[in-house]
Amino acid sequence: MVDHNKSTSAPAPADSGERFSKSGFIFAAIGSAVGLGNMWKFPYITGKYGGAAFFLMFTVCLLAVGLPVLMAELTLGRAGRGSVSTSFNRLTKRKGWGALGFLMILAPFLILSFYSVVAGWTMYYAARSFSGQLFSNSDYSGQFSSFIGSWQPVWWMLLALVLTAAVIIKGVSAGIEKFNKILIPGLVILLLVLVVRSLTLDGAAEGVSFFLSPDFGKLSAESALVALGHAFFSLSLGMGTMITYGAYVDKRQSLGAGTMAIGLGDLLYAFLAGLIIFPTSFAFGIEPGEGPGLVFVALPAAFAAMPLGSLFGGLFFILLAFAALTSTVGLLEVPVAFACERFGWSRGLSVTAITVLLFILGIPSAISVGGAVDGWQFGEKTFFDWMDFICSNILLPLGGLIVTVFVGWVWKHAADEAGLTSGWFRIWIFMVRYIAPILVVLVLLYSAGALDFLF
């Protein structure tokens, strides 16, 4: 049960009554889940790991493991009603959990420092596409490398951070909720326009079949682990976001129904994004396993070759920017809620201080990825790649493990808060106790290279 004696100096935003409306919560959580993960990362890893077979694995991982962990995070957040580490402290008397919760506050802070760099790229590309400059020179790979190799990404990252801060500073319902309620319908309209455009291109069918007719021979243990890791990333798990958002959910809202809506919304979005990217790539003879440059290098070539390409290209990058910003908002709220609560700072001060720190930390990511500054390579990875690797492959599964062990084994009142029927509760807690932690440990071992002998 909630132990308020452990409250820290100032009330957490959730303690001072900050709440989402019912629909506001669903919009905000879908906004956080749907992001660059769905539109930038998902297509190139799907391209790399075998198309439809990978999509199938991703779907299974998301439904069987992602949803139970998402439900666990929301339940934990709503019962704890604090920033991540306080929520842990309030729900158990055992020592050490608050410190583990702190890891899940650090993780979104670190992820935001490089995620906002890519968010900045999308805004730059939207601007260049609408203005037609992007299409004035057909060397798209050269354009991309000269952009990321310059200092310009630093300023575009700053723009992404400032926009995010402007939303978070307004608080939960006037900021996060309202922003998502405006952007998400816009996102859906843009998405549908682009799906129709790509499916009506000559040669689209080949792309659809690459994405949707699985070749089971391509399933492998490696692609399953990548799919599981991506299901976590895509649902914003292991990063404190869903725990923090959970703290703002009304007691009367059904968490089971919310979990379903968020999970299916995210999956549907990935599906529709696939229906844009693969038909477009195939129609213009582009290799979908291209890598992180796929949407920035390959797709502009495709847009250039279609009628009204600068309009569709611009819409595509705006879509990407919207999706990115609804996720950066979810990331920034985690450390901000913590700073308000722990240091007793006002929301304005917390947002400002954290944004300045993020800007400083983001600079090496922004300039290292394209080599604007020599010597930013550590081992075989750039600073940007290290940040991505540490966050996505280590901190995120670790966060997932912390949540599943806590909800499955340590906290004794998960059933009271979850409000599931006894049948669903049994299935849920079984997944959270046994299946999810085992699979997450496998992902961690795989990321650490400990399973290399198997592949």
The contact set with ligand PHE (CB under 6 A) reads 32-33, 35-38, 108, 233-234, 236, 239, 241, 327, 330-331
Identity of the residue, 298 or 329, whose beta carbon is nearer to ligand PHE in the bound complex: 329
CB of 132 to ligand PHE, least distance (A): 29
Identity of the residue, 143 or 259, whose beta carbon is nearer to ligand PHE in the bound complex: 259
Q: Which two tokens stand for residue 442?
A: 């496998």
For residues 416 and 257, is the Cβ–Cβ distance under 8 A? no
CB of 25 to ligand PHE, least distance (A): 15
DSSP 252: T
Task: Give the separation between CA 43 and CA 323, rounded to whole angstroms.
Answer: 15
CB of 108 to ligand PHE, least distance (A): 6
- Biggest CA-to-CA distance, the chain: 65
Q: Which residue is nearest to ligand PHE, using beta carbons? A: 37
CB of 264 to ligand PHE, least distance (A): 15
CB of 208 to ligand PHE, least distance (A): 23
Cα 39 to Cα 54, 104, 278, 303: the distances in Å are 15, 24, 11, 16
Number of C-alpha atoms within 13 angstroms, CB side, residue 84? 31
Helix axes of 255-283 and 178-199: crossing angle, nearest 10 degrees? 40
Task: Give the separation between CA 422 and CA 240, rounded to whole angstroms.
Answer: 27
Identity of the residue, 152 or 164, whose beta carbon is nearer to ligand PHE in the bound complex: 164
Identity of the residue, 241 or 253, whose beta carbon is nearer to ligand PHE in the bound complex: 241
DSSP per residue, 44-85: HHHHHTTTHHHHHHHHHHIIIIIHHHHHHHHHHHHHH-SSHH
Identity of the residue, 176 or 301, whose beta carbon is nearer to ligand PHE in the bound complex: 176
Identity of the residue, 273 or 429, whose beta carbon is nearer to ligand PHE in the bound complex: 273
CB of 176 to ligand PHE, least distance (A): 12
Range list of H helices, 219-289: 221-234, 241-246, 255-283
Identity of the residue, 156 or 376, whose beta carbon is nearer to ligand PHE in the bound complex: 156
Q: What's the full length of the chain, in residues? A: 455
Reduced to 3 states (helix: H, G, I; strand: E, B; else coil), residue 372 is coil
CB of 433 to ligand PHE, least distance (A): 23
